[in-house]
Structure 1
Amino acid sequence: MKMHVISRSNDLLAGFRLGGVVGTNVRNEKQLEDCLDLLLGDSDTGIILISKDIYEMGRDIIARKIRDRRLPLLITLE
């Protein structure tokens, strides 16, 4: 299973890339929704890490997309 990080911070994304985790820079709700659609469509995605600011921006989108799903596990980064 793969892990993916979603953030607006290039520094956060760079840090995770050093650890081998792929990341996506998201700036608005549309980009977040498109990113989640891609990740949720990939059965290899096991964990999605989302920065707190992105989670707060797209809380409704995230709740709608992951409702009734066991995987991937969604973790909010402080």
Structure 2
Amino acid sequence: MKMHVISKSNDVLAGFRLAGVVGTNVRNEKQLEDCLELLLGDSDTGIILISQDVYEMGKDIIARRMRDRRLPLLVTIE
């Protein structure tokens, strides 16, 4: 299973990239929704890490998309 990080910060993405984790930079709710759609459609995605600021920006979208799903695991990071 793959891990993916979603953040507004290029520094966060660079840090995770050094650890071998692919990431996506999102700036608005539309980008977040598009990113989640792609990740949730990929059965290999096991963990999605979302920065706290992105979570706060799109918590309604995230709740709607993750409702009744067991995988992938969604973890917020600071």
Q: TM-score, normalised by structure 2?
A: 0.99
Structure 1 outlier segments of 4+, above 3 Å? none
1:16-67 CA-to-partner distances (Å, cap 9, x unmatched) read 0000000000000000000000000000000000000000000000000000
**Aligned-residue CA RMSD (Å):** 0.2
Give the aligned partner of residue 76 of structure 1: 76
Identity among equivalent positions (%) equals: 86
Give the aligned partner of residue 27 of structure 1: 27
Q: State the one-letter code of the partner of 1:15.
A: G
Measured in 2, the distance between the counterparts of 1:53 and 1:8 equals 8
Please, which runs of 5 or more residues in structure 1 have no aligned partner? none
Please, which runs of 5 or more residues in structure 2 have no aligned partner? none
Measured in 2, the distance between the counterparts of 1:64 and 1:2 equals 22
**How many residue pairs get matched?**
78
Q: State the one-letter code of the partner of 1:56.
A: E
Measured in 2, the distance between the counterparts of 1:58 and 1:33 equals 8
Measured in 2, the distance between the counterparts of 1:16 and 1:37 equals 21
Q: TM-score, normalised by structure 1?
A: 0.99
Post-superposition shift, 1:4? 0.1
Measured in 1, the distance between the counterparts of 2:62 and 2:70 equals 14
